[in-house]
Amino acid sequence: MFAQVDKDPIVGLMSAPVASAQRRTLGLIFLTVFMDIVGFSIIIPLFPHLLDHYIRTEGSAGTLIGSLNSAAEWMGGDTVFKKTVLFGGLLSTLYSLLQFIFSPIWGALSDRLGRRRILTITLAGNALSYLLWIFAAQFWVVVLTRLVSGMMAGNIAVASAAAADITDEKDRTKGMAVVGIAIGLGFVFGPVIGGLASSVQFAHAPTTGSFGLNPFSVPAAIAASLCVLNFLLVAKFFPETLAPERRAAADAKRPSIFDLATVRSSAVRRTSFANLVYQVAFTGMENTIVFLTFALFVYNPRDNAWLFLFNGACMIFAQGLARQLVKRLGQRKVIMLGMLIASVAFFVVAWIPPTLAAAGDGAETTFYLGLGLISFATGLILPSVSALVSLYSDASEQGRNLGILRSAGSLARVIGPVTAALLYFHFGSHFWVYIGGALLMLPAIWVVRGLPDPESERLKA
């Protein structure tokens, strides 16, 4: 539907409106993905307090959380804190597993029915899940909201497909970068909004029913409002990027991590594997960070908001610096540098004692240093991994290989949170979660170290 502006002045005059439409659509894709991720990530800094609330008010026999409570106690969960860590990991994994399953389904449906229609369906479903969260007086309703939200989490896959529709092979990486930047910024601003909004509550009376206002209804209302606004934006302004005559050709199996063995380039396979290993460590840390701050420093959601803002600033700074480092070192060495920094940072956080009394006055500074370095390392690694896969791929395989890379990240979000939660639950502290993250960097660095120079790999292909 869209094409690159031709250099011929006469054709260029005809193509200029098309280029303008392409920029406008990429802007809408950015806004759609950004608002979606902000709405989704609002809940992240609230997890310890949200789960603690439902355990204390409803953790009796005959309820869902009561049954989970009994199972957790049988497994050795002797404190409310250990139970919140376990339940938080299970909720995160439930969402990510459903996202992993349904994203390819929504992507395939968008190949048949068009991008715009599927985006409106998934956004409407997400809006419903957030509206339910506003009135989640009991824990089973919270679980239902995560089920619905996970099943509807196809927006990223569909938005990525829309970006591919309007860019040619030469500019495909630029289109994917728009989606990646929107995701990164969404994960910065969403937790900040959620943490700050948690200090405001609607006036409400305790209820014995399943539905009613709860202490987290204000963040839920913000997430719902953003999703409704996003829905209206897409319904009114988002153009259909996949023309009807192209839909039969597009109707094909979506790439996933399970297709990794069929990728022709061994360099792409090894890069995707290294990315999977790194993201398992990173998502495990990401899922337990708010429980760690609660245990160490008794942080409330507002305190966590400032922590996420700090982490986001470190990541954005690293992404800006990465461009200069790549010119000097190349993509491969930048990834190795990031993984080395991450390994050291994981060790730094791991050695902080599990209680503030034992840790001493410098624990919070050490913690911020470690988390800041992990975020900085992530800002170096993720863009360079995507660029490396693109460089290793033929023009005809770039979209498929980048899709497999994203699928590896989605699978990591299934494995990382539940693994970290089980380690935290079993040992009762963060030590083995972060030691595990540090040790995972070693095979990842070894794999990246053995990767070939992108130019030689391309010539060989």
174 and 85, same domain (yes or no): yes
- Find the CATH number of the domain harbouring 17: 1.20.1250.20
Q: Of 215, 232, 253, which closes a domain?
A: 253
CA 236 to chain centre: 27
Q: 326: domain range?
A: 255-461
Q: For tokens 């031709």, what's the residue?
A: 6
Q: How far apart are CA 19 and CA 26, in angstroms?
A: 11
Q: For tokens 């597993």, what's the residue?
A: 97
- Confidence check: pLDDT of 233 > 90: yes
pLDDT of residue 103: 84
160 and 262, same domain (yes or no): no
Per-residue pLDDT averaged across 130-156, rounded? 91
Give the per-residue SS3 of 103-168.
HHHHHHHHHHHCHHHHHHHHHHHHHHHHHHHHCECCHHHHHHHHHHHHHCCCHHHHHHHHHHHCCC
pLDDT of residue 11: 38
237 and 359, same domain (yes or no): no
pLDDT of residue 132: 95
Per residue in 288-310, pLDDT (tens digit) is 999 999 888 889 999 999 999 99
170 and 269, same domain (yes or no): no
Per-residue pLDDT averaged across 158-164, rounded? 83
272 and 248, same domain (yes or no): no
Per residue in 178-227, pLDDT (tens digit) is 887 888 888 889 999 999 999 888 876 666 678 889 999 999 999 999 99
276 and 322, same domain (yes or no): yes
pLDDT of residue 127: 94
pLDDT range class, residue 283, cuts 50, 70, 90: very high
Q: For tokens 């989704």, what's the residue?
A: 40
Q: Of 221, 237, 253, which closes a domain?
A: 253
Q: 168-182, 329-343, 438-452: which has the minimum mean pLDDT?
A: 168-182
120 and 263, same domain (yes or no): no
- Confidence check: pLDDT of 447 > 90: yes
| Half-sphere exposure of residue 340: CA atoms within 13 angstroms, side-chain side | 9
Per residue in 1-14, pLDDT (tens digit) is 333 333 344 334 34
160 and 259, same domain (yes or no): no
Say what angle helices 266-297 and 47-58 make with each other, to 10 degrees. 60
Single pTM value for the model = 0.84
Q: How far apart are CA 93 and CA 83, in angstroms?
A: 15
23 and 157, same domain (yes or no): yes
425 and 353, same domain (yes or no): yes
Give Cβ neighbours of residue 13 (< 8 Å, ≥ 6 apart).
none
Q: Of 238, 253, 268, which closes a domain?
A: 253
Q: 6-15, 75-84, 262-271: which has the minimum mean pLDDT?
A: 6-15
Share of the chain above pLDDT 90, in %: 42
207 and 312, same domain (yes or no): no
Q: Structurally, how many domains does the chain consist of?
A: 2
Distances (CA, A) of 112 to 54, 155, 327, 407: 42, 16, 41, 21
pLDDT of residue 15: 55
